[in-house]
A and B are shown apart, each in its own frame.
Chain A
């Protein structure tokens, strides 16, 4: 019965076969028995050999590193989202945010300052905000700005670029402008039907223990987002191992290509937003504007975030939203970087 829930189709097929076996031994049963005895061992040896390859080991290390690094922040984010869902009445948000959606967007973007942590935490929180009646545009502005403008990340940026406070300022400005622009873009072009209904964040229901609601929501969101985190970590690890860093030098010459290239690199590397300033600082062959683009795009769009968003809001949304965000973020960082840096 367990399989029925995991994958209905497979379970159905197995059920059929099980019924057949019940009537008598299948043909060639000694062969099948032999196969059953040998195949798993053989597979184990082959898989074991492959896992010891240096490239596969490096892949496993990077994949686990991304997962282990993100898990505490994912827990923080899902706990917050569970708490918002269970303990905060919807009226709080309607009182805190301006009634006009166009005004709520920048306010929510600036409110991103209060969520310390990296981008994994912001996706579940944004999802629960939408569930509590916050207009999606404002929640998305929060989703985009929170990982980039919080004090932890800005401090890390200041440490990574000693003696150039304008880099911190440029990062703050470009991230806020991108977040607000994406919020307004959603108001203008966004369609509700791209969003998967977030019915599960139904808030507190009378007659239920708030504590159990909190625990259940927390647990559900964590397992859900955790699975997608693993997908994203695997994708990021693949690029990390498959693309040697020496490729970078080929692109550092041209100013425009280098901006686009570092933005693309931020997407595939999926470095957490608290560390990306150090990575950007180490990419010393590139122009400051290109490095700014790396730090603005990274916390907003990357493989693990796309996977998390696809899981939380649905694939139709994640694809459109990430593509648009990447374009807006590159334009904003080029414009602001051009003025400030």
Chain B
């Protein structure tokens, strides 16, 4: 990889990270909020590295300019080019010149192979350019429909009494816990309000869904609440659902259906942090 390509890659990678974490909040499609400072620091560091590489090198510091390769593959490359009509002999001559005018401690060409940045480094351009210009959306109904519903953590303590608000804003996690673990059946008959995106389901109804991550989007798990009583909106639409528990199984045990009878479904904007199971606003 040539020096200007290395500079370009480092600077673009830094800018890509800064773009995704500092200038926008697109990083939330991939990782958790807590990664932001690390990503910004990495972006700054990469831009700095690129700038340092681009800086005109002082004489004496530098024996390993990437152009002056002395690894066998690269030299062979120059020779091939040579044989095929690059009659100026430029590349080859330069690598000879480096050998002669080098720092005098090139024992057999070792120790100077920092120029040997392998071709595989070009692959880094793919995620980098994708981050900059063509970021994919957060995981949605495609992933959710292929994952079983997440098993929510068991609440160790007793459940607090539910607030009196109606409709009651609640997260999908808490709704699932209340339905399947709360022996006091406090959720029975209450109108709850939850926000998530739409995933279609086989049979009756559809799923109100949230994808949550513990570190990055590769470890996503899905929370699902089945919604009855209204036609399914388009998949991946973000909606707020008001409804009451849909009777099925014994409430307060794991046999209880995690489902609601919807009274009202309204479209809402997509939250910037889609991977957090948050209560509906307002």
Chain A contact residues, CB within 8 Å of chain B: 1-2, 4-9, 11-12, 15-16, 18-19, 51, 54-55, 57-58, 60-69, 71-72, 75, 160, 162-163, 199-200, 202, 205, 207-209, 212, 215-220, 222-224, 226-228, 230-231, 233, 236-237, 240-241, 244-246, 248-249, 269-272, 274-276, 278-279, 282, 284, 311
Contacts and interface: CB of A to CB of B under 8 A. Distances in A.
Interface string B116-132: 11111111101100110
Interface string B218-237: 11010000000000000000
A274 B111 contact: no
Contacts of B105: 205, 207
A68 B20 contact: yes
Interface stretch (B75-83, B181-189, B260-268): B75-83
Contact of A216 (B41, B64, B123): B64
Q: Which of B10, B122, B136 has the most CB of A within 10 A?
A: B136
B130 to A, nearest CB: 6
Given A16-B84, A61-B29, A5 B6 contact: no
DSSP class of B's interface residues: helix, strand, loop or mixed?
A: helix
Given A64-B127, A202-B111, A274 B138 contact: no
B147 A244 contact: yes
Interface residues of B, number: 84
Contacts of A216: 64, 114
A270 B117 contact: no
Nearest to B78: A4
B2 A2 contact: yes
Contacts of B85: 15-16, 18-19
Interface string B89-130: 011000000000001010000110110111111111011001
27 contacts: A6-B122, A11-B80, A57-B137, A60-B136, A62-B217, A64-B130, A64-B135, A66-B218, A68-B27, A68-B216, A160-B214, A202-B110, A209-B61, A215-B53, A218-B49, A220-B116, A223-B124, A230-B127, A233-B127, A241-B143, A246-B147, A246-B148, A271-B219, A275-B215, A278-B215, A282-B150, A282-B151
Contact of A19 (B84, B124, B146): B84
Contact of A69 (B31, B73, B126): B31
Given A12-B84, A58-B139, A68-B17, 15 more contacts: A4-B80, A16-B84, A61-B29, A62-B139, A65-B218, A69-B30, A69-B35, A207-B60, A216-B114, A222-B49, A224-B118, A230-B123, A244-B146, A282-B150, A282-B151
Contacts of A279: 214, 219
Contacts of B273: none
A131 to B, nearest CB: 11
Contacts of B143: 58, 241
B45 A5 contact: no
Contacts of B120: 224, 227-228, 230-231, 311
B148 to A, nearest CB: 5
**Residue with the highest number of chain B CB atoms closer than 10 Å, among A68, A208, A209, A241:** A68
Contacts of A282: 150-151, 214, 221
A237 B142 contact: no
A200 B114 contact: yes
B124 A227 contact: yes
Contacts of A200: 111, 113-114, 116
Nearest to A67: B127
A75 B42 contact: yes
